[in-house]
Amino acid sequence: MKIVVCIKQVPDTTEIKINPKTGTLIREGVPSIMNPDDKSGLEVALSLKDKYGASVTVITMGPPQAEAILLEAMAMGADDAILLTDRKFAGADTLATSNALAGALRKMEWDLIIAGRQAIDGDTAQVGPQIAEHLDIPQISYVVDIEKDIHDNTFVIKKQTEEGYQILEANTPLLITVLSSANKPRYMSVNGIVTAVDKKICVLGAANIEVDEEKLGLKGSPTKVHKAFSKGVKSAGEVFEVEPDEAVGIIISRLKEKYII
């Protein structure tokens, strides 16, 4: 079984700040991490590898320094890594990002593609489903568990919904998007770190993926960020120390005052 995991390098959002004048993210000096949902997606892939045998390749689109999360992924147990990097990818929105990733995936062999549910910086949850659409393969999002039927290529998948869970069956080729609550990702092992340093990352640019340049980077991005801003700090509010029955009455009257109910 061949598994590819899409991983994204994101700023650690606990440290993020926005330039109040330009409305853009201040990335300088902000530590970068592997997106949490993607790390859980990688753990899903590595667990499938442990149980059933598989090759696990990680892929990211980003600047050269995104290499750090690829090395981390290989130190956790991924076999190979691909870095998609090119100035022509710069300024990509989700559609241009998924076009580039799908272009690289078309050049590879895989049975299962795993993405995170969403990235903690962009937060759109669009890239995984868009990749599946570009590749014309089935997708299951919000996955928290996956088991393989050892007799065939059927996967039994647990998907989280607002009401509870759905248990679904699917065959490969398949794309799933994974939630960070799915598991506790393993740590890098000492042996893994030593082997990862010796491994060569495959670096691809726009010329290697045969995607029309009009579909990549800023040119291929139909959405434009108008403004980004932090939520303003709210006042502490009013504190009432009352019994629950009285609290309900107060809340209802306040909501009515504001015409919310």
Ligand X SMILES: Cc1cc2nc3c(=O)[nH]c(=O)nc-3n(C[C@H](O)[C@H](O)[C@H](O)COP(=O)(O)OP(=O)(O)OC[C@H]3O[C@@H](n4cnc5c(N)ncnc54)[C@H](O)[C@@H]3O)c2cc1C
Using CA atoms, how far residue 206 sits from 97, 101, 102, 213, 223, in Å, is 12, 11, 12, 8, 21
Tell me the C-alpha to C-alpha distance, in Å, between residue 214 and each of 96, 102, 106, 209.
9, 15, 18, 13
Minimum distance of ligand X from residue 62's CB (angstroms) = 5
Residue 259, Ramachandran bin (φ over 0: left; ψ between -120 and 50: alpha; else beta): left
Q: Which residues pair with 4 in a beta bridge?
A: 57, 113
Q: What is the DSSP letter of 117?
A: S
Nearer Cβ to ligand X (61/78) = 61
Bridge partners of 165, per DSSP, are: 160
In whole angstroms, the minimum distance from the beta carbon of 224 to ligand X comes to 5
- Enter the DSSP assignment of 207: H
CA distance 161 to 143: 9
- Our CB check for ligand X shows the closer of 126 and 160 to be 126
Find the residue with minimal CB distance to ligand X. 122
Q: How far is the CB of 90 from ligand X (least distance, A)?
A: 5
d(CA 114, CA 58): 9
Amino acid at 167: I
Taking the complex as a whole, the smallest distance from the CB of residue 27 to ligand X amounts, in Å, to: 8
State the minimum distance, in angstroms, from the CB of residue 254 to ligand X: 35
Distance from CA of residue 153 to its chain's centroid?
25
**Complex with ligand X: residue 222 or 261, whichever CB lies closer:** 222
Of the two residues 127 and 196, which places its CB atom closer to ligand X in the complex? 127
CB closer to ligand X, 75 vs 119: 119
The least CB distance from residue 100 to ligand X, in Å, is 8
Element (H, E) at 198: helix 190-198
Q: Any idea what the Cα angle at residue 129 is, between residues 123 and 133, rounded to 5°? A: 145
Supply the minimum distance, in Å, between the C-beta of residue 3 and ligand X: 13
CA 128 from chain centre, in angstroms, equals 8
CB 85 within 8 A of CB 64: yes
Query: Residue 170's beta-bridge partner residues?
Result: 155
Q: Enumerate binding residues for ligand X (CB under 6 A).
A: 6-8, 35, 37-38, 60-62, 90-94, 97, 101, 115-116, 118-119, 121-128, 221, 223-225
* CB of 14 or CB of 253, closer to ligand X: 14
Nearest residue (CB) to ligand X, 108 versus 154: 108
Q: Which helix (H) or strand (E) holds 211?
A: none
